[in-house]
């Protein structure tokens, strides 16, 4: 008796293949076909057996290899073509600033069984690899995760007054293209321009790069140091701890800036 088709929406994490869950790793080995996104690292793709069919469906700002509707249709097409283990591999976590829930709803509407496998999201992994805790007693009592991406060049629709909380760590996904707006709006809402901030490019990858700066200097530093996507933005007093908690090699410039930020936080305490 033939097995019924099943789609697995799997989180690949932020890039380091050793951060894959045991379940995600097993499903990659057992998959009939893998449908993967742009942010799935090359190291993780090498874990897929050579005989497994692969479909690239990556999307970047202004350029979609396939539209979301086409991706939805592809998953259903593969299921109805007799594929029994279809892995939809997505960077980070399928349900955090991703389209996993939309794909799951479409599969449900089409009567295709599915499972969702969580992955480590960038807000947790990339900050950890950069030596930045999301919370710390006396510095941050909560975490806010927002997307800095908007459609058709519209202004970001965010509650800036709520986000401008000095006791909160703010993590911005896909915000590199709107840093000036983010920095300006947060300062207008009352958050100090001296608030520590960081940019983390290619977090958890071997070529990870970070910039330690302040909210006011964030747009300029991103421009001068030519940061590119994928980059994560972190704003909050916890960034000042990067020097003490850093466990990967950093540049002299980063170390010096971390010392300045640490002194600034101690002075405010």
> Minimum mean pLDDT among 17-21, 54-58, 65-69: which range?
65-69
pTM of the model: 0.87
196 touches 265 (CB < 8 A): yes
Radius of gyration of the chain from its Cα atoms, rounded to whole angstroms: 20
- The CATH 3.30.950.10 portion of the chain extends over 122-268
Kindly indicate whether the domain formed by 6-117 is annotated with CATH number 3.40.1010.10.
yes
For 161, phi and psi rounded to 5 degrees? Answer: -65, -35
Query: How far is the C-alpha of 48 from the C-alpha of 30, rounded, in Å?
Result: 9
- As a whole number, the mean pLDDT across the chain is 91
- Nearest Cα to Cα of residue 99 among 38, 45, 154: 38
Give the model's confidence band at 269: pLDDT under 50 very low, under 70 low, under 90 confident, else very high: very low
User: Is the omega angle on the peptide bond into residue 92 within 30 degrees of 0, that is, cis?
Assistant: no
- The CATH 3.40.1010.10 portion of the chain extends over 6-117
168-219: pLDDT as tens digits: 999 999 999 999 999 999 999 999 999 999 999 999 999 999 999 999 999 9
Q: Torsion over CA of 158, 236, 145 and 45, rounded to 10 degrees? A: 130
Give the model's confidence band at 63: pLDDT under 50 very low, under 70 low, under 90 confident, else very high: low
Domain 122-268: give its CATH code: 3.30.950.10
Just list the catalytic residues. 37, 59
């Amino acid at each position: 008796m033939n097995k019924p088709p099943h789609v697995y929406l799997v989180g690949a994490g932020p890039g380091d293949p050793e951060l894959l869950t045991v379940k995600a790793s097993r499903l990659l080995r057992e998959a009939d076909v893998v449908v993967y996104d742009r942010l799935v690292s090359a190291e993780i793709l090498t874990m897929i057996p050579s005989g497994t069919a692969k479909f690239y469906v990556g999307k970047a700002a202004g350029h979609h290899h396939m539209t979301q509707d086409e991706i939805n249709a592809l998953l259903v097409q593969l299921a109805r073509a007799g594929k029994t283990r279809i892995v939809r591999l997505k960077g980070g976590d399928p349900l955090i600033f991703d389209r996993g829930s939309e794909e799951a709803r479409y599969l449900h509407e089409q009567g295709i069984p599915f499972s969702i496998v969580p992955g480590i999201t960038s807000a947790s992994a990339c900050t950890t690899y950069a030596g930045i805790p999301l919370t710390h007693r006396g510095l941050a009592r909560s975490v806010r995760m927002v997307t800095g991406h908007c459609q058709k060049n519209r202004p970001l629709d965010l509650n800036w007054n709520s986000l401008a909380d000095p006791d909160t760590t703010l993590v911005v996904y896909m915000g590199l293209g709107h840093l000036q707006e983010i920095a300006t709006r947060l300062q207008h809402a009352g958050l100090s321009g001296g608030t520590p901030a960081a940019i983390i490019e290619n977090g958890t990858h071997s070529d990870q790069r970070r910039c330690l700066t302040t909210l006011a200097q964030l747009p300029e530093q991103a421009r001068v140091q030519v940061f590119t996507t994928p980059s994560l933005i972190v704003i909050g007093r916890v960034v000042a701890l990067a020097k003490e908690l850093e466990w990967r090699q950093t540049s002299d410039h980063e170390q010096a800036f971390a010392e300045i930020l640490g002194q600034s936080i101690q002075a405010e305490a």
